[in-house]
Structures are given as structure tokens and as C-alpha cells.
């Protein structure tokens, strides 16, 4: 008998289960959302140009920080290598003297043997391990001539000093190995940060690079404005100082101070400082246009601390190699009282330095890919300035 049930159009199935129309629509939406999530990122996912700029600047900052660590490790390594060479040379000389002392002892023993004297080999006293040996040593020493005793004393001294120097050389070699490891690590860090920065810049389109250049131009204009403002402030301070105390009797920079430096007053300037600063600045100006190369100290290229060190060296003042040490090599003064020749340090970790030339400007070696140049001390914003130091 035929069935009277009305047949239904089969609906879609998922995993063998018939689904109603509403469930079908939901599954379709899920599939579309999944496709969207797996799709390539859109422009909205890309970092903004400002974010890229901050990232690049940060990478260069990290590279410069690693450069100063590299400079410190390089300096330590050079000093340690010199120390090791000195110790090894000392070991060689002491070993030679020890051999000579041993030969002299041997000549005494041979003479005793030829004459039939019943004195045992004088070198055996060095091997005392028991009370009897000690007694024998004392007896032997009583029977030795003055020259023989001097020979024995010299041998003992040379042996002791040679062993001590060898131990010191061994420790210095271990320290040298550690310094070389630090140097290698710092070098690798610099290279990695610079590579990351270059790759990030390489991903920018021509239009983005043009926009980035426009942002940099605005920053330079703002920095120039701040420099001019500082120059006017310093000029006003000089004029006020001349009116109050007479020209030439007070610090030509005035007695004002920057907002972040409280009421600190710079030490009085003198003719000797001005003369040295002039020589340092003449050197720095002669380097303008030379490339920044991390770890370089001239004469064809410089990093930031290499430039300031070279500038003041030309004036007869020896500065340490790194920014970390240079910042302590003088007297800190307020930014508002900065004088030509002063060192301007940047960032909380003190990883950059330039030499002040007046009117809110400095000469510095900025970063990889740039050249030694004259620039506002506000090139990276007023908050980036760490301190100003007068080195001599």
C-alpha cells in the first residue's frame, strides 16, 4: 500500500545531520568571518608612520647604547691585553733569572763534589717535608758560605716571584677572555639593531618616506626655534650680569638657570677654559661632513664620544672613551649657562653626546648613516637633554 506522507525537500547536512535554515545561515557567517580572519592584513593593520619613526629612532638609540658598551668593552680589552703582555714578559724575565740562580746553585754543588766536602746538594733543602729535613736544612745553612747563602736566597726569591707572576698572568688571561666575550656580544648587538632599523625603513613606500622626511623637517624647525629661544635667554643673562656687576667681572654666561636645574650656578669662566674650548671647537668643526661609524675615533670617521674625546684631546684635555665616563669628567652646569666647548649629554642612559658651540647649537656625530654636523641641542626634544658638563 502506497504511503500518503508528503515528501520533504532534504535540507543541507553538516556531519551527517540535517540542519534547519537558521543554522545554515549561522554557519555561513562563521565561515565568512573565518576567511576574513585568515586574510592578509589590511592597511588598518599596518603601524602608523609615527609608530615606524619611533621604532626606528628607538632602534638607533639602542644601537648607540650598544656602541658605548662596545667602546667600554674594547677599552677594557685593550688594557687587559696590555696587562697580559706585560705579565708574560715579566714571567719570561723571571724565568731567565730563576734559571741563572739554579745554575749558580749547581756550580756550588759541583764544586763541593770535586773537593769531597760532605755537604749534600744545596738544592735539596728546598724539598724539606719532615722535621729531620728541617734539621738537615739548618745544619746545611750553618756550613754554607755567605755567597752560597745568597745564591740560595736568590733562588728561593726568584722561584716565588716567578710562580706568583705566572698565577697573575693566568688570571689576567681569563679576564681578557671575558672582556673579548663582552666585546663580541656588544658588537653583535649593534649590528643587529642597525640591521633591524634598515629593514624597517626599507619596507616604507616612496610616499611614506616623503611623509617621514616632512615630519623630520618639522622636528628640525621646532629644534631651531628652541635653540634661538635659548640663545636669546643666554644673551639676556649676559647683559643683566654686565649691568649688575660690570662687564668682565662675572661669568659671561650669566647667573640664570634652567627650569630643571634649580638655582645651580655655573663656575666662573676663565681665559684658559675659553682658549681650550676654542681649540676643541676648531677640531670639531674640521670634522663636519665625516661619516658616523660606531666605535670610530677618527681621523676619517667618528662616533659621538669619539668625536668629543678627539676634540678635547686637541686642546690638551684627556677625556674618557665612553659617554658613561665623560659625563663625570667635569662640572655639571645648567643648560641655560652652557658655554662653547661644554659637553651636552642626552637620554636617561647617557648614550649620546655633542659639543656645544653656542646659540643653542652643537656639533655631534648623530647616528649610523649620518655625518658629523652642526645641529640644535633640542634635535630630539628638550626632554632628551640629560645634562651639560664643563670638562676643563
DSSP string for residues in 137-162: HHHHHHHS-HHHHHHHHHHHHHHHHH
Counting every residue written for the chain, the total comes to 392
pLDDT of residue 29: 43
- CB burial string 197-221: b at 16+ within 10 A, e below: beeebeebeeeeeeebeeeeeebee
Cell of residue 107, nine digits? 756550580
Distance CA 152, CA 21 (A): 110
Q: In sequence order, what are the residues at sequence separation of 6 or more whose Cβ sits closer than 8 angstroms to the Cβ of residue 238? A: 252, 253, 254
At 148 the pLDDT is: 63
Helices within 203-302 (DSSP H only): 206-245, 271-286
Among 251, 247, 280, CA closest to 266: 251
Q: Which residues are 223's β-sheet partners?
A: none
Indicate which residue of 94, 364, 386, 390 is catalytic: 364
Question: Given 352, 367, 386, 390, which residue is catalytic?
Answer: 352
State residue 342's pLDDT score. 97
CA dist 304 and 298 (Å) reads 11
361 forms beta bridges with: 358, 376
Give CA–CA dist 351/334, Å, rounded: 19
Q: What pLDDT sits at residue 267?
A: 53
Rounded alpha-carbon distances, angstroms, from residue 182 to 75, 191, 208: 11, 14, 38
Give the pLDDT score at 288. Answer: 97
Task: Give yes or no: 280 in active site.
Answer: no
Cell of 151: 745564591
Q: How far is CA 108 from the centre of its chain?
A: 59
Instruction: For residue 386, indicate whether it is catalytic.
Output: no
Q: Report pLDDT digits (tens) over 335-374.
A: 999 999 999 999 999 999 999 999 999 999 999 889 999 9
In this prediction, the residues of the chain whose per-residue pLDDT falls under 50 are 1-41, 118-123, 125, 127, 247-264
Handedness of CA 321, 324, 328, 333 (dihedral sign): positive
Q: Where are the beta strands (DSSP E) in 42-131?
A: none
Q: Is 4 part of the annotated catalytic residue set?
A: no
Rg (CA), the chain: 38
CB-based contact 389:332 (threshold 8 Å): yes
Q: Give the pLDDT confidence of 345-354 residue by residue, as tens digits.
A: 999 999 999 9
CA distances from 67 to 70, 200, 380 (A): 5, 20, 19
Catalytic residue among 144, 169, 197, 304: 304
Cis-peptide, bond into residue 305, ω within 30° of zero: no
HSE value, Cβ hemisphere, 13 Å, CA-based, for 344: 30
- pLDDT of the residue at 107: 67
Amino acid at each position: 500500500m502506497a504511503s500518503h506522507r508528503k515528501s520533504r525537500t532534504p535540507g543541507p547536512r553538516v556531519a551527517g545531520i540535517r540542519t534547519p535554515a537558521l543554522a545554515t545561515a549561522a554557519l555561513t557567517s562563521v565561515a565568512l568571518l573565518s576567511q576574513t580572519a585568515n586574510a592578509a592584513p589590511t592597511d588598518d593593520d599596518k603601524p602608523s608612520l609615527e609608530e615606524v619613526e619611533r621604532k626606528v629612532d628607538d632602534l638607533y638609540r639602542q644601537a648607540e647604547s650598544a656602541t658605548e658598551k662596545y667602546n667600554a668593552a674594547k677599552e677594557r680589552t685593550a688594557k687587559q691585553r696590555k696587562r697580559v703582555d706585560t705579565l708574560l714578559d715579566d714571567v719570561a724575565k723571571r724565568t731567565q733569572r730563576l734559571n741563572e740562580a739554579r745554575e749558580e746553585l749547581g756550580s756550588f754543588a759541583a764544586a763541593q763534589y770535586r773537593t769531597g766536602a760532605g755537604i749534600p746538594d744545596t738544592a735539596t733543602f728546598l724539598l724539606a717535608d719532615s722535621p729531620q729535613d728541617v734539621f738537615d736544612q739548618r745544619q746545611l745553612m750553618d756550613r754554607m758560605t755567605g755567597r752560597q747563602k745568597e745564591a740560595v736566597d736568590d733562588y728561593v726569591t726568584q722561584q716565588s716571584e716567578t710562580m706568583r707572576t705566572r698565577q697573575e698572568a693566568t688570571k689576567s688571561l681569563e679576564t681578557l677572555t671575558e672582556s673579548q666575550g663582552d666585546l663580541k656580544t656588544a658588537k653583535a648587538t649593534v649590528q643587529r639593531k642597525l640591521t633591524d632599523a634598515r629593514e624597517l625603513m626599507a619596507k616604507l613606500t616612496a610616499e611614506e618616506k616623503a611623509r617621514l622626511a616632512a615630519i623630520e623637517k618639522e622636528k628640525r624647525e621646532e629644534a631651531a626655534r628652541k635653540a634661538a629661544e635659548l640663545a636669546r635667554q643666554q644673551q639676556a643673562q649676559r647683559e643683566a650680569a654686565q649691568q649688575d656687576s660690570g662687564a668682565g667681572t662675572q661669568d659671561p654666561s650669566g647667573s640664570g638657570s634652567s627650569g630643571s636645574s634649580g638655582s645651580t650656578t655655573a663656575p666662573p669662566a676663565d681665559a684658559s677654559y675659553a682658549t681650550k674650548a676654542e681649540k676643541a671647537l676648531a677640531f670639531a668643526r674640521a670634522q663636519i661632513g665625516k661619516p658616523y661609524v660606531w666605535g670610530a675615533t677618527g681621523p676619517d670617521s667618528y662616533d659621538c664620544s669619539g668625536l668629543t674625546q678627539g676634540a678635547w684631546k686637541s686642546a690638551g684635555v684627556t677625556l674618557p672613551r665612553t659617554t658613561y665616563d665623560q659625563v663625570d669628567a667635569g662640572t655639571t652646569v645648567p643648560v641655560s649657562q652652557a658655554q662653547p666647548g661644554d659637553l651636552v649629554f642626552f637620554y636617561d642612559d647617557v648614550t649620546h653626546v655633542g659639543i656645544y658651540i653656542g646659540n643653542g647649537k652643537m656639533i655631534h656625530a648623530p647616528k649610523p648613516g649620518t655625518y658629523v654636523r652642526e645641529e640644535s641641542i633640542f634635535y630630539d626634544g628638550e626632554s632628551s637633554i640629560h645634562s651639560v658638563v664643563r670638562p676643563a
